[in-house]
């Protein structure tokens, strides 16, 4: 019998984007087409050596758009860095933002935009639909394959006082244009490729089991999982393989559109606390939590997890007992993590057990938890953190 959800009302939003080799060279033409005179180029400081921000800057200059560079921000951008960026935007008379980098860079640019348009502190936008006015035009060039920030209505900012990454969700945060060029992602290290690839996988999985999923987000989420399973190990082993890099970037795009519209779940709600506490790589946090979160959520939507598990290599008969299917799904996740070198638990990355209670309270306050297929208690979230202390064998 078809699922009743098929006919439930669902809205889907996505920006204009260009995918393919050479897309980065369109930056100038695209920004000039928006009537922009001067753009703040928000660029990951670590990327200068690879030349990508320079290529975008040259493209803007050729199209008659002036640029001012802003690169004084961290991975997991901090609240005060966003406010400094907004001040730089105003002081230099910019009228648009261009982001070149991974999720942190794009989130920083999104945050600078809404601070500027609304003249409020960035932390005041926390939660869902708290942004009154959209920011100035924003073009994004992602340099990693995982975040999905180039198409999403999310921005994540580090609240340094509360030691927590806050989630801001608003349609106004969707960039105007994204340029997805596989060539830009070949400079990622093995570790960054694995972590960002698992971030994309976590987006696809959480979107697929979300309470807010629909036919279109399902289509995108399942194809993202298939592409990630088929391509991530080779993207790590042969980083210059442009076909494989392209497949991963496409997977990230699909997963990004899926989660931007179906939203996420407890994996992200729980990893936001970890990222704020220890400034840990976001994708790595999701990957560490993935087994324990699946173990907890499985009973709410077993058939959905079975489908995800099959795409990750799990083998079981359709008529097998539920416990057998669940074990196969969890085994597939464990094996795939090991295949890409993610073999640590929370204890290995320095997250002490004493932090679990506070982390659980923070996770319960994260908007991503609202669409999780099971609504956990504080004690249950603590138990999931506990279960993720050691990697599964």
Please work out, in degrees rounded to the nearest 5, the angle formed at the alpha carbon of residue 169 by the alpha carbons of 379 and 359: 25
Smallest gap from Cβ 55 to Fe ion, in A, equals 26
Q: In terms of CB distance, is 36 or 174 closer to Fe ion?
A: 174
Smallest gap from Cβ 275 to Fe ion, in A, equals 10
Q: How does strand 164-169 pair with strand 154-159? A: antiparallel
Binding of Fe ion by 295 (CB under 5 A): no
Smallest gap from Cβ 375 to Fe ion, in A, equals 21
Contact pick of 199, 218, 291, 382 for Fe ion (by CB under 5 A) = 199
Bridge partners, residue 66, by sequence: 38
Smallest gap from Cβ 91 to Fe ion, in A, equals 32
Q: In terms of CB distance, is 326 or 362 closer to Fe ion?
A: 362
Smallest gap from Cβ 69 to Fe ion, in A, equals 27
What's the rounded Cα separation, in Å, for the pair 348 and 370? 29
Q: In terms of CB distance, is 57 or 199 closer to Fe ion?
A: 199
Of residues 354-383, those binding Fe ion (CB under 5 A): none
What's the rounded Cα separation, in Å, for the pair 114 and 173? 8
Smallest gap from Cβ 19 to Fe ion, in A, equals 20
The residue count for binding Fe ion (CB under 5 A) is 1
Residue that is written with structure tokens 């969707």 in the block: 174
Smallest gap from Cβ 90 to Fe ion, in A, equals 30
In angstroms, the Cα distances linking 285 to 26, 86, 207, 343 are 34, 29, 17, 12
- Residues 226-265, mask of contacts with Fe ion (x by CB under 5 A): ----------------------------------------
The pair of three-digit structure tokens given for residue 48, joined into one six-digit string: 């200068």
- Residues 144-183, mask of contacts with Fe ion (x by CB under 5 A): ----------------------------------------
Question: In what helix (H) or strand (E) does residue 29 lie, and over which residues does it extend?
Answer: helix 27-32
Smallest gap from Cβ 255 to Fe ion, in A, equals 9
φ/ψ (deg, to 5) at 42: -90, 110
Only segment of 94-102, 163-171, 195-203, 230-238 that touches Fe ion (CB under 5 A):
195-203
Give long-range contacts, CB 8 A cutoff, 24+ apart: 240-245.
240/186, 242/21, 242/182, 242/183, 242/186, 245/145, 245/182, 245/183, 245/185, 245/186
Q: Where are the beta strands (DSSP E) in the chain?
A: 16-19, 38-43, 66-70, 96-101, 127-128, 138-142, 154-159, 164-169, 177-180
The pair of three-digit structure tokens given for residue 320, joined into one six-digit string: 């097998």
Question: In what helix (H) or strand (E) does residue 291 lie, and over which residues does it extend?
Answer: helix 282-297
Q: In terms of CB distance, is 31 or 180 closer to Fe ion?
A: 180
Q: In terms of CB distance, is 79 or 199 closer to Fe ion?
A: 199
* Max intra-chain CA distance, the chain: 65
Only segment of 18-26, 194-202, 311-319, 325-333 that touches Fe ion (CB under 5 A):
194-202
Q: In terms of CB distance, is 144 or 307 closer to Fe ion?
A: 144
With CA atoms as reference, report the closest residue to 304 among 236, 216, 206. 206
Q: In terms of CB distance, is 165 or 304 closer to Fe ion?
A: 165
Edge-first strand listing for the sheet containing 96-101: 16-19, 177-180, 138-142, 96-101, 38-43, 66-70
Q: In terms of CB distance, is 76 or 307 closer to Fe ion?
A: 76
Only segment of 59-67, 81-89, 187-195, 197-205 that touches Fe ion (CB under 5 A):
197-205
Only segment of 192-200, 307-315, 328-336, 356-364 that touches Fe ion (CB under 5 A):
192-200
Only segment of 129-137, 160-168, 196-204, 217-225 that touches Fe ion (CB under 5 A):
196-204
In angstroms, the Cα distances linking 286 to 53, 156, 171, 205, 262 are 28, 15, 24, 11, 18
Q: In terms of CB distance, is 176 or 199 closer to Fe ion?
A: 199
Please say whether the beta carbons of 258 and 220 come within 8 A. Answer: yes
Smallest gap from Cβ 267 to Fe ion, in A, equals 8
Q: Please give the residue whose beta carbon sits closest to Fe ion in the complex.
A: 199
Please say whether the beta carbons of 291 and 392 come within 8 A. Answer: yes
Smallest gap from Cβ 271 to Fe ion, in A, equals 7
- Kindly list the residues in this chain that would bind Fe ion in the complex (CB under 5 A): 199
């Amino acid at each position: 019998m078809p699922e009743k959800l098929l006919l439930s009302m669902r809205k889907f939003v996505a920006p204009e984007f260009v995918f393919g080799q050479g897309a980065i060279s369109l930056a100038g033409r695209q920004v000039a087409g928006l009537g922009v005179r001067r753009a703040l180029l928000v660029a990951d400081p670590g990327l200068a050596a690879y030349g990508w921000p320079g290529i975008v800057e040259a493209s803007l200059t050729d199209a008659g758009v002036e640029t001012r560079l802003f690169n004084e921000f961290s991975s997991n951008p901090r609240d005060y860095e966003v406010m400094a960026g907004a001040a730089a935007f105003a002081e230099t008379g910019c009228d648009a933002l261009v982001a070149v980098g991974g999720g942190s860079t794009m989130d920083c640019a999104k945050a600078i935009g809404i601070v500027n348009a609304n003249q409020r502190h960035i932390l005041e936008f926390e939660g869902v639909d708290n942004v009154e006015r959209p920011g100035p035009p924003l073009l994004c060039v992602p340099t990693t394959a995982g975040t999905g920030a180039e198409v999403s209505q999310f921005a994540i900012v580090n609240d340094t006082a509360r030691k927590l990454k806050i989630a801001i969700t608003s349609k106004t945060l969707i960039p105007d244009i994204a340029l997805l060029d596989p060539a830009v992602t070949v400079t990622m290290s093995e570790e960054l490729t694995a972590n960002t690839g698992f971030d994309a996988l976590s987006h696809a999985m959480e979107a697929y089991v979300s309470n807010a999923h629909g036919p279109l987000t399902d289509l995108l989420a399942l194809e993202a999982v298939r592409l990630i399973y088929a391509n991530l190990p080779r993207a790590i082993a042969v980083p210059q393989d442009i076909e494989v890099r392209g497949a991963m970037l496409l997977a990230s795009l699909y997963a990004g559109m899926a989660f931007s519209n179906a939203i996420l779940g407890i994996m992200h709600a729980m990893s936001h606390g970890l990222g704020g506490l220890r400034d840990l790589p976001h994708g790595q946090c999701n990957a560490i939590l993935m087994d324990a979160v699946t173990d907890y959520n499985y009973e709410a939507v077993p058939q959905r997890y079975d489908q995800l598990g099959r795409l990750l290599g799990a083998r079981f008969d359709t008529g097998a007992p539920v416990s057998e299917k669940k074990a196969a799904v969890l085994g597939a996740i464990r094996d795939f993590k090991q295949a890409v070198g993610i073999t640590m638990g929370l204890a290995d990355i320095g997250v002490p057990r004493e932090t679990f209670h506070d982390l659980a309270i923070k996770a319960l306050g994260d908007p991503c938890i609202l669409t999780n297929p099971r609504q956990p208690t504080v004690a249950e979230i603590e138990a999931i953190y506990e279960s993720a202390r050691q990697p599964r064998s």
